[in-house]
C-alpha cells in the first residue's frame, strides 16, 4: 500500500472531524448536530453528488463499457450477500445473518461521497455514471437478504412480499433523492446548471466535514455496545469489507480501464449500508437485531474504509 496515500487520508479534514465526533463522546461532551440539521446535511450531500453525477452523465455517451460497469456493480451487490450470509450463519441466526448480509451487499452513499473527495485530492477523475451504479446497487442486496431469511429462517406470514420490499427500497428517501437528483442533473440545461453550481460544488466539502462530525458522534455512542457482541462480528466488520474491496479492485479491470471508476466500484463493494438497509430490515425482518448490523456498518466498517481501505484499493488499482 502507498504510505503517502494513507497519511494523506488520515490527515484529511473530513476524517479528522469524524475522529473529533468520537472524541467528543469519549469526553462526555454535549457537542452534537441537531437532528433536523443532520437530516438536511444528509439530503444536501445526496442532492449534490446526484446532480453533479447527472451533469457528468449528460456530457458522456452511452457505451458498452458503461453497460458492463452497471452489470458488474449490480452483480456485486447480489453476490456479496450470498456468500456473507452463509459465513455469518456459522455464528448467527438466519435473521441476523440476512440483515447483516444485506447491509454489506448494499452501499453507503456517505462512503461514496467521501471517496469522491479522496479522488479529488489525488486528482483522479471518475465517470458520472458511477452515481447511477451506486443507486442501482442499493436494492438488489436488500432483496437477496430478505429472500435468504425467507428460505433459511423462521417462517413469518406477516412479512411483506418481495414486490413490496423492492418498492420500499426504491422509494426510500436516500435512494429517491440520489436517483431524482441524477435525473434532474441529466435533464437540466447548461445555463440552469451553472446557476446553482456554487451550491452544488463550492460548499460541498464543508457540509461533508459537518456530516462526518455527526457520524463520529453517532458511532462513538454505539461502539461500546457493539464491542460487547464478541470477536466474530468485529472481525467480520473489518476483514470482509476489505476483502470485497480488494477483490473488486482487481476484477473491475475486466470491465473498465479507468482508475477512478475502478476505485469507485471497489469502494461501493466494500461499503455497508446504515441508512436504507436498517429502514428496510425493520419492516421485512423485525427479528433481526439492529444493535448488530447498524454499529457494524457505521462504527467499524465506515472508519476502516475511509482510513485504510481507500488507500489500499487505489494502490491495488494503480500498481496491480
Which cell numbers in the block locate residue 270? 466494500
| Phi/psi at 2 (5° precision) | -70, 115
Residue 298: pLDDT band (50, 70, 90) is: confident
Residue 224: pLDDT band (50, 70, 90) is: confident
| More confident of the two residues 298 and 81 | 81
| Phi/psi at 204 (5° precision) | -60, -50
Which of 10-14, 94-98, 124-128 tops mean pLDDT?
94-98
Whether 281 contacts 296, CB under 8 Å: no
Whether 171 contacts 19, CB under 8 Å: no
Nearest to 102 by CA among 289, 306, 280: 280
Q: What percent of the chain has pLDDT over 90?
A: 32
Sign of the CA dihedral 120, 125, 130, 132?
Answer: positive
CATH of region 3-319? 1.20.1530.20
| More confident of the two residues 220 and 166 | 220
Instruction: Please report, for residues 128, 174, 213, 275, the alpha-carbon distance to residue 39 in angstroms, rounded to integers and kept in the order given.
Output: 25, 10, 13, 11
Give the integer Cα–Cα distance in Å for 301 and 309.
9
pLDDT given at position 132:
81
In the chain, where the domains are located: 3-319
Give the integer Cα–Cα distance in Å for 263 and 245.
9
| More confident of the two residues 169 and 34 | 34
Whether 119 contacts 126, CB under 8 Å: yes
Give the integer Cα–Cα distance in Å for 217 and 228.
19
Across all residues in the chain, what is the average pLDDT? 84
Residue 175: pLDDT band (50, 70, 90) is: low
Give the integer Cα–Cα distance in Å for 204 and 44.
9
Using N-to-C axis directions, what is the helix angle for 204-227 and 35-59, rounded to 10°? 120
Nearest to 23 by CA among 208, 226, 219: 219
pLDDT given at position 69:
93
| Phi/psi at 60 (5° precision) | -105, 160
pTM of the model: 0.75
Helix (H, G, I), strand (E, B) or coil at 123: coil
pLDDT given at position 169:
57
pLDDT given at position 262:
96
Computed over its alpha carbons, how large is the radius of gyration of the chain? Answer: 19
pLDDT given at position 310:
93
pLDDT tens, residue by residue, 232-290 = 999 999 999 999 999 999 999 999 999 999 999 999 999 998 777 776 777 678 888 87
Burial class from Cβ neighbours inside 10 Å (0-12, 13-18, 19+) for residue 158 reads: exposed
Q: Which helix (H) or strand (E) holds 221?
A: helix 204-227
Which cell numbers in the block locate residue 76? 456485486
Q: How many CB atoms lie within 10 A of CB 225?
A: 12
Q: What percent of the chain has pLDDT over 70?
A: 89
Residue 167: pLDDT band (50, 70, 90) is: low
Amino acid at each position: 500500500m502507498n504510505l503517502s496515500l494513507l497519511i494523506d487520508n488520515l490527515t484529511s479534514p473530513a476524517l479528522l472531524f469524524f475522529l473529533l465526533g468520537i472524541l467528543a463522546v469519549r469526553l462526555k461532551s454535549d457537542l452534537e448536530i441537531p437532528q433536523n440539521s443532520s437530516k438536511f446535511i444528509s439530503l444536501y450531500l445526496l442532492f449534490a453528488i446526484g446532480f453533479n453525477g447527472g451533469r457528468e452523465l449528460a456530457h458522456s455517451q452511452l457505451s458498452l463499457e458503461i453497460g458492463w460497469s452497471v452489470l458488474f456493480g449490480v452483480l456485486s451487490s447480489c453476490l456479496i450477500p450470498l456468500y456473507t450470509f452463509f459465513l455469518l450463519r456459522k455464528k448467527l441466526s438466519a435473521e441476523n445473518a440476512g440483515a447483516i448480509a444485506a447491509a454489506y451487499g448494499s452501499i453507503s452513499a456517505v462512503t461514496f461521497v467521501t471517496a469522491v473527495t479522496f479522488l479529488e485530492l489525488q486528482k483522479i477523475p471518475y465517470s458520472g455514471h458511477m452515481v447511477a451504479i451506486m443507486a442501482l446497487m442499493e436494492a438488489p442486496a436488500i432483496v437477496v437478504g430478505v429472500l435468504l431469511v425467507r428460505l433459511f429462517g423462521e417462517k413469518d406470514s406477516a412479512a411483506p412480499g418481495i414486490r413490496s420490499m423492492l418498492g420500499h427500497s426504491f422509494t426510500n428517501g436516500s435512494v429517491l433523492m440520489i436517483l431524482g437528483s441524477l435525473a434532474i442533473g441529466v435533464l437540466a440545461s447548461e445555463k440552469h446548471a451553472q446557476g446553482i453550481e456554487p451550491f452544488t460544488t463550492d460548499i460541498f466539502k464543508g457540509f461533508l466535514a459537518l456530516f462526518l462530525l455527526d457520524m463520529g458522534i453517532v458511532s462513538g455512542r454505539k461502539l461500546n455496545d457493539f464491542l460487547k457482541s464478541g470477536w466474530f462480528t468485529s472481525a467480520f466488520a473489518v476483514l470482509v469489507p476489505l476483502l470485497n474491496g480488494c477483490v473488486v479492485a482487481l476484477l473491475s479491470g475486466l470491465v473498465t480501464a479507468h482508475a477512478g471508476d475502478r476505485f469507485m466500484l471497489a469502494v461501493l463493494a466494500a461499503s455497508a449500508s446504515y441508512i436504507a438497509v436498517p429502514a428496510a430490515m425493520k419492516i421485512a425482518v423485525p427479528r433481526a437485531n439492529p444493535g448488530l448490523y447498524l454499529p457494524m456498518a457505521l462504527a467499524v466498517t465506515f472508519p476502516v474504509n475511509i482510513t485504510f481501505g481507500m488507500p489500499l484499493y487505489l494502490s491495488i488499482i494503480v500498481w496491480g
